[in-house]
């Protein structure tokens, strides 16, 4: 398992989760956890995913997600989970 964190931030609209999840499903990326909230009309989602069996390399996924983000007016980032673990856990 190779865990990564996806964050999606943007103005709320219909179909954000659907678009992101479709992309992930087509790319062979398994979703382990989703947490989502809306603050002041802004959509804010965090996903924990497993990229171990992804069909493309990490760069490819990052670029793919970034493209999906542009099409739905959101900023989508993917980062390996280690950076958060290292910073916030002893």
Partner 1 sequence: MISRSEIWETNQMIEKENLDVRTITMGISLLDCMDSDLTVMCREIHDKIVRLAGKLVETGDEIGREYGIPVVNKRISVTPIGIIGSAACKTEDDFVTIAKVLDDVAKEVGVNFIGGFSAVVAKGMTKSDELLMRSIPKALSQTERVCSSVNVGSTKTGINMDAVRLMGEMICETAKLTKDADSIGCAKLVVFCNAPDDNPFMAGAFHGITEAEAVINVGVSGPGVVKKALESARGKDFEVLCETIKRTAFKITRVGQLVAKRASELLQVPFGIVDLSLAPTPAVGDSVAEILQEIGLEYPGAPGTTAALALLNDQVKKGGVMASSYVGGLSGAFIPVSEDQGMIDAVNAGCLTLEKLEAMTCVCSVGLDMIAIPGDTTPATISGIIADETAIGMINQKTTAVRLIPVVGKTVGEQAEFGGLLGYAPIMPVNRFSCEAFVARKGRIPAPIHSFKN
Q: Which residues bind partner 1 (CB under 8 A)?
A: 5, 7, 33, 35, 37, 44, 46, 48, 58-59, 62, 77-88, 90
Among 13, 25, 22, 9, which residue's Cα sits nearest to residue 77?
Answer: 9
CA distance 66 to 73: 10
Cβ proximity to partner 1: between 25 and 79 the closer is 79
C-beta of 50: minimal distance to partner 1 in Å?
Answer: 14
Distance between terminal CA atoms of the chain? 21
C-beta of 81: minimal distance to partner 1 in Å?
Answer: 7
C-beta of 13: minimal distance to partner 1 in Å?
Answer: 20
C-beta of 72: minimal distance to partner 1 in Å?
Answer: 19
Strands (E), 40-85: 42-50, 74-80
Cβ proximity to partner 1: between 14 and 87 the closer is 87
CA distance 7 to 12: 14
């Amino acid at each position: 398992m190779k865990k990564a964190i996806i964050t999606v931030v943007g103005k709320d609209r219909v179909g954000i989760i659907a678009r992101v999840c479709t992309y992930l499903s087509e790319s062979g990326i398994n979703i382990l956890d989703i947490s989502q909230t809306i603050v002041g009309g802004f959509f804010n989602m965090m996903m924990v995913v497993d990229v171990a069996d992804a069909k493309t390399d990490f760069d490819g996924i990052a670029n793919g997600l970034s493209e999906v983000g542009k099409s739905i007016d959101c900023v989508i980032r993917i980062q390996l989970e280690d950076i958060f673990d290292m910073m916030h856990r002893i």
